[in-house]
């Protein structure tokens, strides 16, 4: 079918498309993206303008049919003919119905980019990726980029999708103002471009790009885009100041002030403040595998750090670093490892200025920490 005249025909065509695909099942997520392929054949990056999570079933069926999807997590390249055929159908849907899914709207811009002039770092290709189940591991770089987009687009929370082995799927790229380049041979390519009068500036050498080059989440402020990786999850109301940092598969779940470091896997709750120079370990210190989290309405003081989780309404004094094995004096007079207090609510961790001992005391209602500046985060 090349023209859809109403929603009834759309629904009928969707059923037909799904029946035509052996082992078809609704995927956990899918996306249509614009990828950069290096002269060596490696995928350098993929931009997914409208990643989908359990949504847009018609476009999903349409594209699955075009690439002969087998029902398993996987990625495919879309050739020009398939793209044009899909675009023709999407145009008729837009003309005749009120079906306005974003994934259908990105077909034309992606097609235009693929057919445009070749970039200096390789070639542009149209790619589609299907993730059958959130527990499936990434299968390739295209799949990996879709997962990172799902996180930064706030469609999934940190730890809401499997990222096992993602480092091995991504290419270590030279990130420039002209896009990513393969590291191999880059020094010569840079001189060639400069000889053509093209300015090129390197801002990173890494497997993960800046989030803001691919996803602009609503309702957040980021003072230095270099310090937030693609795959970071920043909830609306979050502010990341100049020295703040957020890694992939980590981030905030509500209004937060980030002036320190959020390591990979760390989750920060609503209303919490990560002070300047503060640091959060990615896993429970001492070789454990427990992921660190910070609850709601917490303050991690300037230059402080934690290797344990904090519950709600906790404070760690400025300059105090608490690892899992740190010995802490608690209110009943006993001394325990800090790991025993991991995740507990309403605690103030401090170093007694007279004895030098690290203490954990219960916070009272008259505590000096009264939460974030509401006016600052409302604007």
Active site amino acids: 259
Beta bridge partners of 204: 175
- Given a contact cutoff of 8 angstroms between Cβ atoms, the answer to whether 89 and 1 are in contact is yes
The answer to whether residues 214 and 151 touch, using CB atoms and an 8 Å cutoff, is no
Instruction: Report yes or no: 127 and 147 within 8 Å, Cβ to Cβ.
Output: no
Please, where are the H alpha helices in the chain? 7-20, 57-67, 80-96, 102-105, 107-115, 141-152, 166-169, 186-195, 374-378
Residue of 23, 107, 111, 120 lying closest to 73 (CA atoms): 23
DSSP-assigned letter for residue 60: H
Sequence-distant (≥ 6) Cβ neighbours of residue 191 within 8 angstroms: none
Helix axes 7-20, 57-67, angle to 10 degrees: 40
Token reading at 257? 């002030």
**Euclidean distance between CA atoms 186 and 184, whole angstroms:** 6
- Residue 96 burial class via C-beta count within 10 angstroms: exposed 0-12, middle 13-18, buried 19 and up: middle
Count of Cβ atoms closer than 10 Å to residue 266 Cβ:
25
Take residue 115 and report the two structure tokens written for it. Answer: 């057919």
- Report the Cα 316 to chain-centroid distance in Å: 27
C-alpha torsion angle, residues 141, 153, 34, 108 (rounded to 10): 150
* Tally of CA atoms within 13 A in the half-sphere of 195 that contains its CB: 6
Check: CB of residue 71 under 8 Å from CB of residue 22.
Answer: yes
Contact in structure between 300 and 262 (CB atoms under 8 Å): no
């Amino acid at each position: 079918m090349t023209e859809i005249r109403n929603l009834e025909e759309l629904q009928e065509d969707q059923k037909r498309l799904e029946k035509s695909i052996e082992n078809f099942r609704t995927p956990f997520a899918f996306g249509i993206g614009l990828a950069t392929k290096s002269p060596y054949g490696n995928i350098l990056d993929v931009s997914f303008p409208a990643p989908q999570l359990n949504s847009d079933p018609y476009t999903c069926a349409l594209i699955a049919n075009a690439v002969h999807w087998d029902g398993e997590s996987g990625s495919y390249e879309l050739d020009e003919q398939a793209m044009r055929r899909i675009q023709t159908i999407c145009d008729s849907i837009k003309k005749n119905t009120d079906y306005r899914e974003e994934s259908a709207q990105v077909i034309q811009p992606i097609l235009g980019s693929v057919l445009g002039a070749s970039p200096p770092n390789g070639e542009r290709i149209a790619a589609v990726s299907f993730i059958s189940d959130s527990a499936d591991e990434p299968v390739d770089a295209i799949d990996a980029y879709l997962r990172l987009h799902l996180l930064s687009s706030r469609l999934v929370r940190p730890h809401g999708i499997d990222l096992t082995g993602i480092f091995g799927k991504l290419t270590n790229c030279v990130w420039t103002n002209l896009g990513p380049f393969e590291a191999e041979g880059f020094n010569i390519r840079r001189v060639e471009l400069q000889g053509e009068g093209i300015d090129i500036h390197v801002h990173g050498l890494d497997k993960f790009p800046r989030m803001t080059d691919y996803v602009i989440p609503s309702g957040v402020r980021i003072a230095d885009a270099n310090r937030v990786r693609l795959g970071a999850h920043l909830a609306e109301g979050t502010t990341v100041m100049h020295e703040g940092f957020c890694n992939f598969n980590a981030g905030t779940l509500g209004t937060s002030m980030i002036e320190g470091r959020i390591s990979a896997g760390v989750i920060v709750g609503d209303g919490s403040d990560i002070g300047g120079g503060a640091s959060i370990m990615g896993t429970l210190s001492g070789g454990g595998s427990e992921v660190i989290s910070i609850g709601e309405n917490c303050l991690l003081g300037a230059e402080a750090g934690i290797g344990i989780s904090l519950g709600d309404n906790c404070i760690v004094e400025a300059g105090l670093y608490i690892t899992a094995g740190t010995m802490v004096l608690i209110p009943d007079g006993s001394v325990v490892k800090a790991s025993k207090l991991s995740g507990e609510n309403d605690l103030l961790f401090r170093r007694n200025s007279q004895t030098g001992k690290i203490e954990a005391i219960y916070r009272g209602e008259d505590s000096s920490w009264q939460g974030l500046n509401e006016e600052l985060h409302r604007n």
